[in-house]
Chains A and B, each alone.
Chain A
Amino acid sequence: MHELSIAMSIVETAQEEAQQRGLRVAAVHLRLGALAGVVKDSLLFSYEIASQETPLAGSKLIIEDVPLAVFCQQCNAERTLDSIQNFTCPVCGTPSGKIVRGKELEVFALEVSE
């Protein structure tokens, strides 16, 4: 269970950005890759705790899931995979471990009011 420390980092990151711009945060938008190693529900729960008694208290964490995508050498194309348990191209069946997307753990936007 490392979601609480991740949530604390999210709060810290968002707060830093908001302070620099003199903004008040209503929601934090996070991009979460399928291979980031973070459990979404735990993170949402942890966020509430981590944001308490900070300027972000009461703000929402909005998580956008980023599915796993690999580059298939055979097809010479990027392919989105449905499962992180099977790294094979869904079109031609060639195994591919070349990850293009899916490891994201990124605060990508803040919903703010002045």
Chain B
Amino acid sequence: MTEPRLVEVRRNVLKQNDVVARGLRQRFQNEGVFVASLVSSPGSGKTTFLEKILTMLRPNYRVAALVGDLATENDAKRLARSQAPVKQITTGTLCHLEAAMVERALEDWLPAPLDFLFIENVGNLVCPSAYDLGESLRFVMMSVTEGEDKPLKYPTIFNSADVAIVSKMDLAEAVEFDWPAAEANIQAVRPGMQILRLSAKRGEGMQECVSFLLGQRSTTRSPTAG
């Protein structure tokens, strides 16, 4: 047997996902749809937030949501109350969404043309970080009940996201949420990250969030899109 030798390869392991994600991003841009995804731990309030956002946007904009869940269809049912088109991606045991799942979900479900598409990832602060979904913007959400150190525990997911949402602000006092500490922790792992504070249940901060999304959509839209 010959001596082993090294052959240089240099191949990105997630290239396949990245290629699909790039294709999706191009397609979304061509169609003029702004795609925002949402990651958080289970129970942070992604679904409540989305239900509210869809309800607020729906009178004036064409909106839809794709929601990833391990086994149940409960989230899709809750989101359907907003009367926006909603599609569930049941991942089975898979702990995150991948670009190909989004692509597949859109194949036989085209509520186009859309202004906004929301993608709710599976509740998980670890695995979704590695997978680009072709979204225009990624929110990472943490609720005040989870503690101020979430960003320090999961710096990777905070780094994969563009904007942070601190949810359940109506409970902040009850759980003695330390806002300056939370803010410092987010900034420590992602300097300059914009943070939106809100209570989807009570509505505080939701209007600001809608304005933020509208602003983002107008700046990222290609000039040729309708």
| Chain A interfacial positions (CB closer than 8 Å to B) | 1-2, 5-6, 9-10, 13-14, 17, 21, 23, 26-27, 29-30, 35-38, 84-88, 95-97, 99, 105-114
Q: Are A110 and B14 in contact (CB under 8 A)?
A: no
Q: Are A9 and B13 in contact (CB under 8 A)?
A: yes
Chain A residue, CB-CB nearest to B154: A37
Find chain B residues with CB under 8 A from A10 CB: 13
Known A-B contacts A1-B95, A113-B4; A96 and B9 likewise in contact (beta carbons under 8 Å): no
B1 is an interface residue with CB less than 8 A from chain A: yes
CB contact between B5 and one of A9, A36, A112 (< 8 Å): that residue: A112
Q: Are B6 and A29 in contact (CB under 8 A)?
A: yes
Main secondary structure of the interface of A (DSSP, over half): mixed
Instruction: Tell me how far the C-beta of A40 lies from the nearest C-beta in chain B, rounded to whole angstroms.
Output: 13
Q: Are B130 and A36 in contact (CB under 8 A)?
A: yes
Q: Are A87 and B4 in contact (CB under 8 A)?
A: no
Q: Are A113 and B130 in contact (CB under 8 A)?
A: no
Known A-B contacts A6-B13, A35-B156, A37-B156; A95 and B4 likewise in contact (beta carbons under 8 Å): no
CB contact between A2 and one of B1, B2, B7, B95 (< 8 Å): that residue: B95
Instruction: Provide the bound-state CA to CA distance between A105 and B17, in Å.
Output: 13
> 0/1 per residue, B3-30, Cβ < 8 Å to A?
1111111111110100000000000000
Instruction: Provide the bound-state CA to CA distance between A13 and B1, in Å.
Output: 24
Instruction: Provide the bound-state CA to CA distance between A114 and B4, in Å.
Output: 8
Q: What are 27 A-to-B residue pairs whose CB atoms are below 8 Å?
A: A2-B94, A2-B126, A5-B94, A6-B130, A17-B7, A35-B155, A35-B159, A37-B157, A84-B159, A84-B189, A85-B155, A97-B191, A97-B192, A105-B12, A105-B13, A105-B130, A106-B13, A107-B9, A108-B10, A109-B6, A109-B8, A111-B6, A112-B4, A112-B7, A113-B1, A113-B2, A113-B5
Q: Are A17 and B6 in contact (CB under 8 A)?
A: no
Q: Are B130 and A97 in contact (CB under 8 A)?
A: no
Instruction: Tell me how far the C-beta of A82 lies from the nearest C-beta in chain B, rounded to whole angstroms.
Output: 13
Find chain A residues with CB under 8 A from B187 CB: 95
Instruction: Tell me how far the C-beta of B15 lies from the nearest C-beta in chain A, rounded to whole angstroms.
Output: 8
Find chain A residues with CB under 8 A from B152 CB: 85
Q: Are B7 and A13 in contact (CB under 8 A)?
A: no
Known A-B contacts A37-B126, A37-B157; A21 and B8 likewise in contact (beta carbons under 8 Å): no
Find chain A residues with CB under 8 A from B4 CB: 26-27, 111-113
Q: Are B192 and A106 in contact (CB under 8 A)?
A: no
Name 16 extra pairs, CB < 8 A, besides A5-B94, A27-B4, A35-B156: A9-B14, A13-B13, A17-B11, A37-B129, A37-B157, A88-B188, A95-B187, A97-B159, A97-B192, A106-B12, A107-B10, A108-B10, A109-B7, A110-B7, A111-B6, A113-B3
Instruction: Provide the bound-state CA to CA distance between A14 and B3, in Å.
Output: 19
Instruction: Provide the bound-state CA to CA distance between A87 and B156, in Å.
Output: 12
